[in-house]
Amino acid sequence: SPTFPSLAEKGAYDMNHVYRISDILQVISFAENHGIVVVPEFDTPGHTLSWGKGLENFLTSCPGLGTFGGDYGPINPSVESNFKVLQKLFAEVSSLFPGGFVHLGGDEVPFDCWAANKDLGAWMKQQGIGNFNDLESYYEERLLDIVHHLNISYVVWEEIFNNDLLIQPDTIIHVWKGNWEATMGKVIKAGYKTILSSPWYLNYIGSSKDFELEFEFNWQKYYKVEPYKIPGATPEELSRVIGGEACMWGEFVDATNILSRSFPVASIVAERLWSSEEQTNVNDMGFRLEKHRCGMCARDIPLRLYLRGVTVLLSSAVMNGMTEKCGLR
């Protein structure tokens, strides 16, 4: 960040592990050439431990109760200068990313750290903020107001909605937890647009002893998800379901396996989201998936194998056209 260079200088693992402006512009340009809009996520007020290393008084102090058992937790909403930092940071983001969207996070905010800070508690009493849900609401209202005035459209994780925070009517709710049909039903009935990720976390590692069998089960399950089948929803409400996202988080993923963990499974999610509700034939999808995987392998993209079995039928024409690069056995 040119505005806050200390964020990377002090918060990064090292300066070889940062996205420089030139890197970001390269990603945006490549994506644009392929019809893709890059939506960056700046998750706050939680998940900000590295930010605090470069910004004084930015995080809430709570010795021993912070992130990973440390001394600091979420952003401290009682420090007015923190909102000036956020205003400058998101102004920079809006000028850099041309897509007009930003993901503001808002998930997994640990209240215990806020509760342990006596100065924050005294400030809450002075402001008439009675509990930590209200404190989170205060923070999010301030943040959304900042982003709204920058003319940026925004996405938040479902906790913002679930915790009954006051949010603007154009907020997009990102559903990622279990029981997603019920949550999305509440979201669209409340008038908000929504996107779905709950059933499409590609980084999950299966518990099956036969890993390929686990993968065989998973890819079919991904394909059978239908975001528009929400019980009791009207056509008008269903029009607020604007899409979905296949998620790949980093707990078990790095540069050595991200492609093989992501593909061709992400292609299955893509077809589900870009296809008619009536297109549900798993065997037919298996045929296209095999052909698609072969094409990607022929371009030297490292991909995951999967069990074919009786649910995936291949024609002799496709089989004859496959090369050794397809990794077939």
**Taking each helix axis from N to C terminus, what angle separates 21-33 and 80-96, rounded to the nearest 10 degrees?**
50
**9, 108, 226, 277: which is the annotated catalytic residue?**
108
CB 223 within 8 A of CB 267: no
Q: Measured on CA atoms in the order 167, 172, 175, 176, is the torsion positive or negative? A: negative
Distance CA(150)–CA(226), nearest Å, equals: 34
Distance CA(44)–CA(26), nearest Å, equals: 26
Distance CA(229)–CA(207), nearest Å, equals: 28
Can 136 be counted among the known catalytic residues? no
CB 38 within 8 A of CB 31: yes
Long-range contacts of 149-153 (CB under 8 A, 24+ apart): 150/90, 150/91, 150/94, 151/94, 151/100, 152/90, 152/93, 152/94, 152/100, 152/101, 152/102, 153/100, 153/101, 153/102
Q: Annotated catalytic sites, by residue?
A: 108
